[in-house]
Amino acid sequence: MNLSYWIEMIMSGVVTGTCYAMIGAGLSLIWGTLKMVNLAHGEYYMLGSYFLWTLLTVGNMPLIPAIIISIVGVVIFAAAVHFAAIRPLLRKPGWNMSPWILTLGLQILLQNLALKIWGELYRNVPYFWNTVFKPWNMFTMSGQRIIILTSTAVIILALMTVIKKTRLGRAIIATSQDGEYAMMMGINIKQIYFITYTISAGLAAVAGILLCPVYSVNPWMGATVQTKGLVVCILGGLGNIEGAIIAGILMGIVESIAVSAIGSEWRDAIAYIFLLGVLYMKPSGLFGKKKGV
C-alpha cells in the first residue's frame, strides 16, 4: 500500500465523486428554491448521455457542437417538463408529496421511453481525449479523467460565482431563504423556480455527458446515480450547494476506500452507513444550517 496506490484510490474516488457532486448540487438547488425533491433528476443525466451518443454516432457530428446541442436539448426538455407538470403543482402554498410522486412517474416514463427509443443495448461513447499520462510515474491519469475533473471544477466554480456574486444568484438565495419577502424585493419567484430547475437539469446533463465515455449509456443509468445524489445532498446539508459538492467528492472517496479496505459488495452499504453516522452526529448534515423546521 504505497503512496501511489492511495493517490490512485483518491483519484478514482474523486472522479466518481464529481458525478455525485453535480447531481447532488442540482438536487440541492431544486430543493432550496422549489422545496421539492426531483426524483426524475437522474433521468436528465441519462438523457444527456443519450443525446450525446445519438449526435455522435447517428448524426456523426463533431464533439464540441454535439456536447453543446445535447446540453441545450436537455435544458429545453426540462423547461417543457417544468411548465407542463411541475408548475401546476407548485401553485398551492406549502408543499406536500405530490411533486415527488409526479417526478417518480416521470422517472418511470423517461426510462421506458428511452428503452423504446434507444433500445435495450448498452451504448458506448468513445473517450473525448484518448491518452494516458503518468505524472512522475506516480499514478496513471487518462485524458478523459483529466477532462472530467477540469471541466467539473470549471462548471462548479462558474456555478458558485453565479450564485454568490450575481444579481440572479442573490435572487435564488433570497427565494430559497424566504420566498414571500423575496417577492417583496421585486423578485419574480416563479421565474426563479423555472431558472433553478433548468440549471440543475443542465448540471445533470453535463455530468452525464462527461461520464458517459467512462461509464456507458443505458436507460437505467440514472437511477443509481440519483440515489447517491440524494444521499449526497442530504449529507452536505439540504439546500446547501457547496455542501453538496464537497459531500459528493467526499462520498466518492469514501466509496473507493471502502472498496479497497472491505470489498465492492459492501461499497454502497458503507456509503449509507457513513451518511447515517454523520446524521447521527449532525442531524442537519455536514454543512447544513441548524434549523428546526
Within 82-101, the residues that bind another protein by CB under 8 A are 85, 88-89, 92, 96-98, 100-101
> Measured from the CB of residue 249, what is the shortest distance to another protein in angstroms?
15
Give the one residue of 3, 62, 136, 293 binding another protein; rule: CB under 8 A: 293
> Measured from the CB of residue 61, what is the shortest distance to another protein in angstroms?
19
Answer yes or no whether residue 277 interacts with another protein by CB under 8 A: no
> Measured from the CB of residue 273, what is the shortest distance to another protein in angstroms?
7
- Footprint of another protein on residues 234-263 (CB under 8 A)? 234, 238, 255-256, 259-260, 263
Q: Supply the DSSP string of the chain, one letter for each residue.
A: --HHHHHHHHHHHHHHHHHHHHHHHHHHHHHHHH----TTHHHHHHHHHHHHHIIIIIS---HHHHHHHHHHHHHHHHHHHIIIIIHHHHSSSS--SHHHHHHHHHHHHHHHHHHHHH-SSPB----SS--EE-GGGT--EEHHHHHHHHHHHHHHHHHHHHHHHSHHHHHHHHHHH-HHHHHHTT--HHHHHHHHHHHHHHHHHHHHHHHTTTS-B-TTHHHHHHHHHHHHHHHT-TT-HHHHHHHHHHHHHHHHHHHHHT-GGGHHHHHHHHHHHHHHH-TT-TT------
Give the one residue of 69, 128, 147, 227 binding another protein; rule: CB under 8 A: 227
Q: Which residue has the cell 438536487?
A: 27
Give the one residue of 146, 162, 220, 242 binding another protein; rule: CB under 8 A: 220
> Measured from the CB of residue 184, what is the shortest distance to another protein in angstroms?
5
Answer yes or no whether residue 161 interacts with another protein by CB under 8 A: no
Give the one residue of 24, 29, 31, 42 binding another protein; rule: CB under 8 A: 31
Give the one residue of 76, 115, 153, 157 binding another protein; rule: CB under 8 A: 115
Q: Segment contacting another protein (CB under 8 A): 41-49, 62-70, 153-161, 271-279?
A: 271-279
For residues 241 and 25, the answer to whether their CB atoms sit within 8 Å is yes
> Measured from the CB of residue 98, what is the shortest distance to another protein in angstroms?
4
- Footprint of another protein on residues 35-64 (CB under 8 A)? 37, 39
Q: Which is nearer to another protein, 98 or 150 (CB)?
A: 98
> Measured from the CB of residue 166, what is the shortest distance to another protein in angstroms?
10
